[in-house]
A and B are shown apart, each in its own frame.
Chain A
Amino acid sequence: MYGADLLEFARGPAIQGSLIILVAGILWRLTGILFLPRKADHSQPREAIAARISGGLGNIVKRSWPYAPFAKRVGYSDTISYTFHIGLAIVVFFYQPHILFIKSITGLSWPALPNSVIYVSGVVTLAALIAMIVRRMSHPVLRLLSNFDDYFSWFVTTAPIITGLMAVAHFGGRYETLLAIHILSIALLFIWLPFGKLMHTFLFAISRATEGAAFARKGAKS
């Protein structure tokens, strides 16, 4: 297959199909969780509804920072996690071709950052992702806790970064072929996202808010 044919496939049916799976999968998971039956809590609430809502929302923010007594122990993983999450956000949302991709689907667009900023972010993100997987594989407890989902989720997150940097650098093939592989790697990420641990993209806020609201109801500080 000629590189341009592969690119046409990637830009057309592949990405469209993956978007359909992504949207359907996310909605499936979200509604499935939100409509799950919950055990009735017959105890007297310690706080009013407003406090429970603010407790839920506050917990989303609070859980974003390490708990002080554990700060030293989780400092390394938190730093790496923040580095790659922020780097990934910069690359995904502020690179002009990515903005154009989002615009072609949603109609929304915003100003891009210079490519040099994107390239540096991409490299830093990749370094952080590598540091992360090295830690997961070398830490005895983490290794025991890890399963296929953890490694595959890492792979589908890292693959678009690697293929994107290769496309930008024209490394390993013709640009259109590398671009097609990059788009196909994103399609794989879209397909996997709703069904693995990457669903935390959406569930992290729901789980933290649920926990925060439950704590607030009981009058506990989260």
Chain B
Amino acid sequence: MADDETIGARLQQRGISRRTFLKFCTAMTSLLALPPTMAAEMADKLAQTKRPPVLWLPFQECTGCLESITRSDTVTLEHLIFDLISLDYQHTLMAAAGSAAEAARNHVVKTMPGEYLVIIDGSVPVGNAGYGTIAGVSFYDVLMETVSGAAAIINVGTCSSFGGIPRANPNPTGAMPVTDLVKDKPIINVPGCPPIPVVITGVLAHYLTFGVVPELDELHRPKAFFGETIHDRCYRRPFYDQGKFAKTFDDEGARNGWCLYELGCKGPVTYNACATLKWNEGTSFPIESGHGCIGCASPDFWDRGSFYTPIAADTWHNGAAIGAAAIAGAAIGVGVATVARKRQGKITKTPGKIPPS
């Protein structure tokens, strides 16, 4: 439960040195593209800030987003975040269950309006209330009740940000992203399937330091992390510029690290920080492992054609339709020429008289 303990006191209690904390703040300011001088200011502000209560609502999700954070790596960077906040409600992580768990959520909602943050992973089914419930209450009602007093909402993952896989065609549950349901609260989308853990950390650090949401794009994504395409920062980009492309996943080009554009990589139209922050302690990211980007941080990525169709390709290609168009065009041309021939024949037979068109 949230308390009056400051983040600084909490860190001290956990034996985290100021040096380690400063390193964390330096990393955060760098990630958020803030001036380096902001690191010390962030450290001071965070240390004096009270740990805000956070309610984490899991809806139609696979728990991959939570796995991403909790199992990210052993470096304290991501784990530090749990010292920055007081995580008061999270089904998978909390010891309490049933009515005790719901009581914790209700307590925060009723006693700390305007003070708590809500993190959401998973989309919300609106087709039928029975598709998703918590303690007999529909996901939609849980969402609306919980966010009513929220200071801000952070959508973690593509499902809560844009609907994700639950919203994929034919969207049997009527899944909707939180952004489409809640209009009166500051919302930060951190999409990805799953999202990069340090991006979540960075967003929280920014909010706790400055008390406002970071600069967002039109899809509510923090520009610091989603301002550039993966393609622009990809280590394979020089091969794209040289016109060197892997043709298959196991050819010489693929082994030499050539661009995966021809194999359907969606890096050129996907905004995320995978190519710079990477995964597993900065080890690699999917393209580095030999597979093209599937655009998991983009809206409706599941329904935008095959993962293996190049972006430049015609996605509606229908050879039969084009063949029919050719036949129809030729038929019209022959028809027009036939009419012209008949007309000319009449003119030839009756010189001096032009038949009406």
Q: Do A and B truly interact?
A: yes
Question: Which single member of A32, A35, A179 contacts B269 (CB below 8 Å)?
Answer: A179
Question: Which single member of A13, A25, A26 contacts B316 (CB below 8 Å)?
Answer: A13
Query: Do most interface residues of chain B lie in helix, strand or loop, or is the interface mixed?
Result: helix
Known: A29-B333, A35-B333, A115-B240. A105 touches B314 (CB 8 A): yes
Q: Are A2 and B312 in contact (CB under 8 A)?
A: no
Other A-B contacts than A31-B334, A32-B337, A115-B240, 14 sampled, CB-CB below 8 A, are A3-B269, A11-B311, A12-B315, A23-B325, A23-B329, A27-B327, A30-B330, A33-B337, A96-B245, A97-B310, A101-B314, A114-B242, A116-B241, A179-B269
**Which residues on A sit within 8 Å (CB–CB) of B242?**
114-115
**Which residues on A sit within 8 Å (CB–CB) of B289?**
none
Q: Are A11 and B329 in contact (CB under 8 A)?
A: no
A146 at the interface (CB under 8 A from B): no
Cα of A112 to Cα of B261 in the assembled complex, Å: 13
Q: Are B329 and A16 in contact (CB under 8 A)?
A: no
Closest chain-B Cβ to A179's Cβ sits at a distance in Å of 7
Interface residues on B, range: 35 or more
Known: A114-B243, A175-B268, A179-B269. A16 touches B314 (CB 8 A): yes
Closest chain-B Cβ to A162's Cβ sits at a distance in Å of 18
Closest chain-A Cβ to B78's Cβ sits at a distance in Å of 29
Q: Are A175 and B315 in contact (CB under 8 A)?
A: no
Question: Which single member of A12, A24, A35 contacts B338 (CB below 8 Å)?
Answer: A35
Q: What total of chain A residues lie within 8 Å of the partner, measured CB to CB?
A: 45
- Show 21 A/B contacts (Cβ-Cβ < 8 Å), sorted by A: A2-B299, A4-B299, A7-B311, A11-B305, A11-B314, A24-B325, A24-B332, A25-B329, A28-B336, A32-B334, A33-B333, A34-B333, A96-B312, A97-B312, A100-B312, A104-B312, A105-B317, A115-B243, A176-B268, A179-B269, A179-B311
B94 at the interface (CB under 8 A from A): no
Residues of chain B whose beta carbon lies under 8 Å from any beta carbon of chain A: 218-219, 229, 231-232, 240-243, 245, 261-262, 268-269, 298-300, 304-305, 309-318, 321-322, 325-330, 332-334, 336-338, 340-341, 344-345
